[in-house]
Amino acid sequence: MAVVTFDSETVTKEVEKSDFENDLNAISEASRDQKLEQARSDIIAIANDLNLEDSDSEAFDWTKYKQIRANAALASALNSHPNLYYALMKAGEIFEKAKSECLNIDERKFSGEIKKFMDIDSLISSVVGGIKTLTYGPVTLILDSQDLVLALSGCFRACLDKRNLESVITKKEAFPIVKKDPRCIAWVQYEFNSTRTSKTSMFRTKYLVDIQVKIKYFVFNSTFNFRLNLFEAERVLKAREKSLAILEKDEDPLGEI
pLDDT 10s digits, 74-98? 999 999 999 999 999 999 999 999 9
- Alpha-carbon distance 173 to 163, whole Å? 22
| φ/ψ of residue 123, rounded to 5 | -65, -45
Paired strand residues for 170:
193
What gap in Å lies between CA 18 and CA 23, rounded to an integer? 7
Residue 104: beta bridge partners?
217
pTM score of the predicted model? 0.88
Give the span between the Cα atoms of 191 and 244, in whole angstroms.
Answer: 28
Does pLDDT of 203 surpass 80? no
More confident residue, 69 or 130: 130
Do the Cβ atoms of 184 and 221 come closer than 8 Å? yes
Residue 130 pLDDT exceeds 90: yes
Q: What pLDDT is stored for residue 50 in this prediction?
A: 82
Q: Per-domain residue ranges for the chain?
A: 9-251
Q: Which band of pLDDT confidence, cut at 50, 70 and 90, is reported for residue 250?
A: low
pLDDT digits (tens, 9 = 90+) for 110-128: 999 998 888 998 999 999 9
Give the pLDDT of residue 57. Answer: 62
